[in-house]
A = this chain, B = another copy of it.
Amino acid sequence: MSEKTLKYYGWGYADAGLDADQTKALIATFRDGFGIEPSRDGAFPAMDEIELPAPKIVAPANLGGICSTDKHDRVVHAFGQSQPDSIRIYDRDFAHAPDVIAYPENEQHIAEIYEWADKAGAAVIPWGAGSSVVGGVTSDVGARYNGTISVDMGRMDKVVEVDDVSRAARIQGGARGPALEAQLKPHGLTLRHFPQSFEHSTFGGWIATRSGGHFATLYTHIDDLVESTTTVTPAGNIVSRRLPGSGAGPSPDRFIAMGSEGALGIVTEGWARLQGRPTFKATAGFRFADFFDAARAVRAVSQAGLFPANVRIVDGVELQVNGAGDGSFTLMVVSFESADHPVDPWMARAEECCLDNGGVVDVDWRDNPDAHLQGAVGAWRTAFIRMPYNREQLTPRGIISDTFETSITWDRFEEFYQVIKSATQAAMKDVTGHAGAVSCRFSHAYPDGPAPYFAFHCPGDPNGGMLEQWQAIKNAASDALIANGGTITHHHAVGRDHQKWYEQQRPALFGDVLTDAKKRLDPKGMLNPGVIVS
């Protein structure tokens, strides 16, 4: 379990965030580039300004040693890291904070927590590292429950077993990215699953939310990196076999563990497929005058069967917001990595695909081990790592700033992009009176289509109206995604924020099947209410 203190009003540890100069630059970029001015100069509440209701439930004796009702614990576990979470923290909206935080150390503890919740009529919120950006851990469960228990998996953070021959490891659900990689490093192995939340998300959380890693092609989702899973449900444990591949009936992992987001059980451990630590790397950057030309280059690389570690485009607006461009060009980053062989032939062919589609070299990959730190490539990379810390500066200044992501097939992409962008811009204008800014990058790319990742920014109401404004813009963008054939999420997950659109997206009868599974595995409906099964 981490010894460091988590921030309660934003991303990461209490001692991490933008410094004064970085904050100044961020605000200046919004002002100078897009006319987005702070609408207020506020601050998140200090801890002693936050009022919590007294806990409504008390842990039984057998669980007393692993439970906490400490104020900081309850405050931290009240929200995830979404835009509405941030606004509600600013607004001191903590009435729904969980009553008790439980820190199970084994599967038996989890079973005992379920027994307690059953008797107490309480809700149970599985909590990995709390970085959900979709309300997946926000403990707002309504009046139906007599209390809420947040189950923090942080003490189940071990790599239990490593199989060097098959390159696989048995990893506990509460292991955060850095902790699990540190335990794999002595074996010369790596899971190489690097979501932007890597530092503040867990192996079990990745599986439960079908997390997407940094790598943009081939094994994008954690789904493909998992051999087997153990899920502890109120009805008992579900343990799948460790298999490299199987065709025996529908995959239990892909129904029970992957994508159930804590509504059917808690993923306590799994066997993960590992790789050798890459020793051969190459990165190149290309500039495109036209976003769609860049998209066509991504398509060409994706359909060439080269499987780059990265093939990403970032449009002019996103580069500008992040101080990595002047808005006049789209950046494309291509990189290859291997633990086994030089990647030059791969990169050379990918470069041809980029040049064929109108790309101009921004950073040359040849004999250039520092390519990823250079030019627009390096500038955007630096900003990317810092991005999650922006929000805690923007919310107090009354600036709405959020992202959403989806996927779509190539044939529909260009029209889809225009429609989504227009719908979001129109909603911002309608709701706030300001055109705002909408940007797009590709987070992942497949032979049959990209995963476009949008961001939107606009000045919000300084006097308590920001949450409603955000919801109206979010509604417009989400309606447009669903009406135009996209998915409500490619890798951010469903959570409470996307549930409405997820129910539109999924086949109705499949929703019934999920409801039946919920009744079977969680008959009292205690687990993560409002998520996946409403």
Contacts and interface: CB of A to CB of B under 8 A. Distances in A.
Given A303-B276, A513-B255, A245 B490 contact: yes
Nearest to A410: B166
Contacts of A307: 307
Contacts of A516: 513, 516-517, 519-520
Given A517-B516, A532-B249, A244 B304 contact: no
Contacts of A254: 250-251, 254-255
A509 B243 contact: no
A276 B300 CA distance: 12
Given A341-B304, A502-B248, A166 B487 contact: no
Contacts of A303: 167, 275-276, 340
A165 interface: yes
A509 B243 CA distance: 19
A13 to B, nearest CB: 26
B514 A520 contact: no
A531 to B, nearest CB: 9
A510 B256 contact: yes
Nearest to A238: B507
A407 interface: yes
A509 B520 contact: yes
Interface in A62-78: none
Contacts of A220: 245
Contact of A449 (B166, B210, B212): B166
Interface in A192-222: 209-212, 220-221
A493 B249 CA distance: 7
A493 B490 CA distance: 30
A341 to B, nearest CB: 5
Interface in A240-285: 240-252, 254-256, 258-261, 273, 275-276
Contacts of A490: 245-247
A147 B233 CA distance: 40
Contacts of A236: 508-509
A450 B165 CA distance: 12
Number of copies of this protein chain within its complex: 2
A447 B167 contact: yes
A308 to B, nearest CB: 12
Contacts of A19: none
A255 B510 contact: yes
Given A227-B448, A247-B491, A509 B233 contact: yes
B211 A505 contact: no
B249 A506 contact: yes
A290 to B, nearest CB: 17
Nearest to A499: B249
A430 interface: no
Contact of A247 (B166, B259, B410, B411): B259
Given A227-B409, A507-B252, A513-B521, A449 B247 contact: no
B250 A259 contact: yes
A237 to B, nearest CB: 8
B275 A245 contact: no
A489 interface: yes
Quick one: which of A212, A241, A450, A508 has the most chain B CB within 10 A?
Answer: A241
Given A221-B247, A516-B519, 16 more contacts: A241-B505, A242-B485, A243-B449, A244-B450, A245-B446, A245-B449, A246-B490, A247-B493, A248-B493, A250-B255, A273-B447, A305-B338, A305-B339, A306-B340, A345-B345, A513-B520
Interface of A: 163, 165-168, 209-212, 220-221, 227, 233, 235-252, 254-256, 258-261, 273, 275-276, 299, 303-307, 338-341, 345, 349, 407-411, 444, 446-451, 485-494, 498, 502, 505-510, 512-514, 516-517, 519-521, 532
